Amino acid sequence: MSSILTNNGAMVALQTMKNINANLGMTQSEISTGKSVASAKDNASVWAISKVMEADVESFKGISDSLALGSSTIAVARQASETVTDLLTQMKEKIVAAQADNVDRGKLQTDVDALREQIRSVVGAAQFNGLNLVNGTTTSIDVLSSLDRSNSGVQASSITVNGQNLSTGGYTANDVFSASSSGTISGAGDTFVLSLDGAGGTDDITIADGTTAWAAGDSITLRIGDKTASYTLTTSDVDSGNNAVPDLIAVGLKNAIDALGITGLTVDYDSASAGQLSFTNDGTADLSVSGQFRNAGSGGLGALTGLSVASAASAELALGAIEGLLDTAIDASAAFGSAQGRIQTQSEFVSKLSDALKSGIGTLVDADMEEASARLQALQVQQQLATQALSIANQQPQNLLALFR
């Protein structure tokens, strides 16, 4: 049935054209914006996910900046500690030369003093943006390294880098005992040197009683030949009272020396003589024993302050001390190197993670341009056909006039 009031064909053609025009508009939007999901109305869930990921990508840019700053700061500290290691190596060369009898100790002492001042200069200047990791003023720093997202929320994580104390402050050198004489360790910086002849040489050292204000972290190091034994006071040691501390140190040192397994050396502790250790050398080779007290508040290189090669005895003591100082500087360099390597690895990971997130966001919201191009051409053809169909449908009422002629 045909009607001049209701043109069903035109209505169908019009609806078809509206759908085609709507699809054509979406396709043109994809091509102009490059996105298949440009706003929340396109796909609310996908749009929400993409926005969360985009926020994370922006956050990782800040993390990359933090890692770069941390790496630069640690690089300065590492370079300083490596330089200190080189300077201590040069100092050791001077100290070894001072072990001979026919040397000019005055000139060697001048060189040692110059190297000591250079070390102080390096440690003092090793700062980046006002932060110095090698002079003992900074315990540790936290370098922002990641943004961890989970079902419970978002949490930032950091890489902790410990500062290293390579300062020479907080150290007081008191007595330097001459060779072949007993030593008494009685205060911060006390040192001694004694010689034990082979086949029965004996001598004693004594850790003083309550005249010393002992503190947790105080340590005594003994160098016997080319081996080292040490004991560091703990909080429980100090809590036992000053009078008991010397005995605790003596026992601790005896155990540490026994663990070295030095052939022919016997170390006896007599509780009747507070804090006293008796050395007996029944071996065939002579042994030199040197010792040094280091207070808890001194810098990692505090022993440099009293380092001297002015006499044979002090040169022998300096030889034992320089090994410990070198170990401190080397350990600091290794610690900074390890931390810098970790930060570099994290920086590379963050960069790759950001790229992966960007790729994921693109997969969610970016338009497939090849598909959009093909669809655009198809829709344009469909639009032309729909226009033609609507035109034909609109002519249908005109055909009814022929029935009334």
Antiparallel, parallel or unpaired: β 131-132 and 127-128: antiparallel
Residue-wise pLDDT tens digits, 224-272: 877 888 888 888 887 766 567 778 888 898 999 999 888 888 888 877 7
Parallel, antiparallel or unpaired: strands 227-232 and 219-224:
antiparallel
Query: How far apart are alpha carbons 122 and 101 in whole angstroms?
Result: 32
* Dist. CA 294–CA 221, nearest whole Å: 8
Give the C-alpha separation, 209 to 107, whole Å.
Answer: 39
Domains parsed from the chain with CATH numbers: 47-167+333-357 (1.20.1330.10), 183-297 (2.60.40)
Tokens of 17: 């054209």
Whole-angstrom Cα distance, residue 84 to residue 33?
A: 58
Task: Give Cβ neighbours of residue 394 (< 8 Å, ≥ 6 apart).
Answer: 7, 10
pLDDT of amino acid 81: 94
pLDDT at 119: 92
The per-residue pLDDT for range 116-164, each reduced to its tens digit, is 999 999 998 999 988 999 988 888 999 998 888 777 777 888 999 999 9
| Per-residue pLDDT at 115 | 93
Closest by CA position to 176, among listed 365, 313, 348 = 313
Task: Give the global pTM.
Answer: 0.67
Question: Encoding tokens for residue 357?
Answer: 């997130």
Rounding to the nearest 10 degrees, give the CA dihedral for residues 120, 122, 127, 131: -30
Rounded Cα distance, 194 and 152, in Å: 65
Summarize the confidence of residues 41-69 as an average pLDDT: 86
- Give the per-residue pLDDT at 173: 39
Query: Could you read off the pLDDT of 276-290 as tens digits, one per residue?
Result: 888 888 877 777 777
Instruction: Identify the CA nearest to 169 among candidates 188, 187, 150.
Output: 188
Higher pLDDT, 35 or 159: 159
Residue written as tokens 């080292």?
Answer: 228
**Which tens digit of pLDDT belongs to each residue from 153-183?**
778 889 999 999 888 865 443 332 222 334 4
> What is the gyration radius of the CA atoms in the chain, in angstroms?
41
**Following CA atoms 129, 141, 332, 329 in sequence, which dihedral angle do they give, to the nearest 10 degrees?**
50
3-state secondary structure the chain: CCCCCCCHHHHHHHHHHHHHHHHHHHHHHHHHHCECCCCCCCCHHHHHHHHHHHHHHHHHHHHHHHHHHHHHHHHHHHHHHHHHHHHHHHHHHHHHHCCCCCCCHHHHHHHHHHHHHHHHHHHHHCEECCEECCECCCCEEEEEEEEEEECCEEEEEEEEEECCECCCCCCCCCCECCCCCCEEECCCCCEEEEEECCCCEEEEEEECCCCCCCCCCCEEEEEECCEEEEEECCHHHHHCCCCCHHHHHHHHHHHHHHHHCCCCEEEEECCCCCCEEEEEECCCCCEEEEEEEECCCCCCCHHHCCCCCCCHHHHHHHHHHHHHHHHHHHHHHHHHHHHHHHHHHHHHHHHHHHHHHHHHHHHHHECCHHHHHHHHHHHHHHHHHHHHHHHHHHHHHHHHHHHHC
